[in-house]
């Protein structure tokens, strides 16, 4: 290299330019890679949120179904209880009717017995 010369030769400049270009491309690739990584991470987070929402909705839906089942059981139990009460009422009515019928029968028999014995007084 001559003594008075300052700066870089054309060859050195060209080499430096190539290196700078390579470094710039490398930096861009790294940036793209980081951006891609961020996008992937965001996608993963979004998928997790959606999955959690689905699970939550499933839980709510299961709760609603369970509540409906319980409600239906309560209604069914009420219906059964009402049928039992109704059956008891009917049974009680039948017994009462039997008692009345028995009293009427006894009364008829008593009258017949009196008639047969001749103790019936007219009027």
Q: Are 114 and 120 in contact (CB under 8 A)?
A: yes
Q: Are 40 and 48 in contact (CB under 8 A)?
A: no
What does the pLDDT look like over 71-106, one tens digit per residue?
A: 999 999 999 999 999 999 999 999 999 999 999 999
Q: What's the pLDDT at 117?
A: 84
Per-domain boundaries in the chain: 16-122
Better pLDDT: 84 or 120: 84
Q: Is the pLDDT of residue 123 over 60?
A: no
> d(Cα 9, Cα 99) in Å, to the nearest integer?
133
> d(Cα 74, Cα 99) in Å, to the nearest integer?
37
Alpha helix stretches (DSSP H) within the chain: 10-117
Q: Are 82 and 89 in contact (CB under 8 A)?
A: no
Q: pTM higher than 0.85 for the full model?
A: no
Q: What's the pLDDT at 78?
A: 98
Backbone angles phi, psi at 120, to 5 degrees: -75, 125
Tokens found for residue 112: 């017949």
What does the pLDDT look like over 7-54, one tens digit per residue?
A: 667 777 666 667 777 788 888 777 777 778 888 899 999 999 999 999
């Amino acid at each position: 290299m001559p003594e008075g010369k300052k700066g870089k030769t054309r060859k050195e400049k060209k080499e430096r330019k190539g290196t700078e270009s390579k470094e710039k491309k490398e930096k861009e690739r790294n940036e793209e890679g980081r951006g891609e990584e961020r996008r992937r991470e965001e996608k993963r987070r979004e998928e997790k949120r959606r999955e959690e929402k689905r699970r939550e909705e499933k839980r709510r839906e299961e709760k609603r179904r369970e509540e409906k089942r319980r409600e239906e059981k309560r209604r069914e139990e009420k219906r059964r209880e009402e049928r039992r009460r109704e059956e008891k009422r009917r049974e009680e009515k039948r017994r009462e009717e039997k008692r009345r019928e028995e009293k009427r029968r006894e009364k008829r028999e008593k009258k017949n017995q009196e008639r047969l014995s001749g103790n019936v007084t007219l009027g």
